[in-house]
A and B are shown apart, each in its own frame.
Chain A
């Protein structure tokens, strides 16, 4: 392209300045060229920023939706527990150990002796801890974990036991002072990311008397090194009890751990002692302090606050009683026998969220508010057992934080399908005395502290996005800080792109320490330091796997790709519901509907509050007439090769609940062999599907079970079974093939 043309074209925007001089474009022309490039580049960056932003929204929506799904799992556990006698005499042992506060049959001395007597083989070359711990021990642990070694189960048990003893003496709220140290460092969520913890220690130094730390909860789940993280944190806790402080997070909760990976990690790494460790951890987690206060001025809690929080009341709460935010019935074998004759079956817990209109048959069952008693024969039963709490994670939630698109279903009378036709003991829960109001208030305080999020709107409302805790506005913050003479609230719980964020006029700091939380390059991690002047200083970092720095474009692409794949899997998992809804709009059966209609369907079925119209080009194709070819949004995904012969509908259901089933199987598989008996499989699946309201007849289950049992020895390798219900992203495969 010659310069003559160049100048002539430039005439569009301004009169030509020169007569085609090649060597020296006029200053005005240079300026014009520069502006052009700048305009173009800024538009390019804005486009990337839009993609980055909706990628973020996707990850966050799916994450929070997953947390809400937790309700389903816990309500299923209640359900299973209610029906456990049907489980072939595996009975109370099946799940109750997860739910009961097991009264420790061993005395302290006996337990301590028991651990001491565990033999560590000579061949073990990892750290050997000796209590009380010394710096040698913590250094040994850090080196070992950097080398990817695993600490022997004996030491883990001893460590957990010592930690439990230690935490028992701690109050709910710990008061600290900056006067003895230069600065206190506060870290947020780590979620099993050992690299981030090591990076923090590298940048900021190890905990010590001169270098105190507060870790603000969520040490475990999601990441792969949760065990290593808590070992390190607890070790430092015992070593420097006055300079190392841990607050409880909402993931320090054994029910959450079942779903988000910590339980699985422990079981996999510690086949012999894992179960006992998890038992201990239940107690340890519930004994973690709830809050820290610095200089009587700065309050640090994991989630946030509500308009009900009162620090004086909070300090009297029996925190160890709140084992999990997900409320489940307390039970023991005794109750069983005593109340064997009671016919009524009411459920204390198992509240659930509003269901999408499309989930097959679940609506009636799950939408009941459990204040009413559901009886088999329709006869009335005795005492009420349930009390509702708006801050409990189990409370029925408004469908989305945006608008209530559907009114909450009114409590309905039980329909015949709600009651399983199995001859078994009815639940004895109804005989539980109602939780006294004080217990209820205590629980509410704890859940609010662990689950709430700040919002910019005034007031305090139930946190429908999460299903627990509250949204609290700047007025709530102001009120609480004023009430207790505080000036700052530091909390974590939410991932932030820069690792930290201020809100409520600088009165609230969110600090998040797991970098690349959603995906490589998705966000930075950060920690904050406070000195005697209480002026926060922020430090950011990002763990990076690649040595070459990725450009903004590359980072966005990687994160976006991952988010879109997750979204496509969601579409796939709800294919039949989506197709049914699409077809309702497509009366003439053209295979196409308008973008609006497509967006509406997807939003209502998936119940994810995302910018669907903006996302459409990445998910579905347009036809020649500008309408959406709705089947194209399933094109990229195909099922793996399912081993058992199942109908597409069943495959879809199995795919959708893969995670839940995996958790359940792992619990049933007491000896961690990876195998469960066919009978156990049948029972579990039957209960699960009736709980979900999925109609699967016995024959199908039997066929499925038998076909999975390859060597016909009566047991199923459930990992293989679940593997079959993975999906494959065709585009990714193509990319990989193209190299």
Chain B
């Protein structure tokens, strides 16, 4: 399948958690330069951003966030600031990569164009109803295998593309500490659809999605009490991904995981030990996952927005009694649907 990517249909959204973005932008220049780039500066970052010239870039800062949204219960600090970028984007697709990730090289030494790969993932069908053992059947050189029902070969539209990371993998702080020298060097040359009903931990480090359809569920809902700027101090993307998967499953959309890889730097690796004492995530996921595995949205939901509202209600009813962070998550989800309606639900 040939896939065309038009300049005007993609926004690149980057959360700036560090001031000097020059190495980042220079490395991504071949792949970013034809697109509009939205940079959202972490409201808690004081220093001025350094961004090289030659990009169509718009920077949003704390005052822009406050100016546009006014008083909102959603906390856009740290990694959550990128979601503001999703609100203000006017494009059909968004690609978002952490600012400590550079383009990776594949086993042949070729630099990976993560942007194009994400777009291929989003513009070719997903196949959630039956697992294809040769992975993505639409890829060149592959197809559906024997035993794959023909009625399922059209697939469904893919709404979320979850990429991976070489070098510094996205581990929780315990694993970072115990395996401090482990680096991910395994380039797995596959994209696959996450099956219907299967849940997965979506890492926000390297994602892309159809903003027009899925935007209403792409929110920073779950905030752990000691949320920090290291990825291992957050679960907001994991929560976001689980909500998105439930909604996609309910509405007949697909999600893919696998390629593209980005190269994630070591910058954070050494500090995981500090997070261990207070890391709430250990216990939270033991409640979160069973909830998402068993949640069933009603057949009435036909829009993402409707599904989110329903899901927020169920979160409030079933999870909130276990931990106040879940009540806050439900609040944030409901707040997001309002913000999305006022500011996000528009296209170019």
Answer yes or no: are A and B bound together in one complex. Answer: no
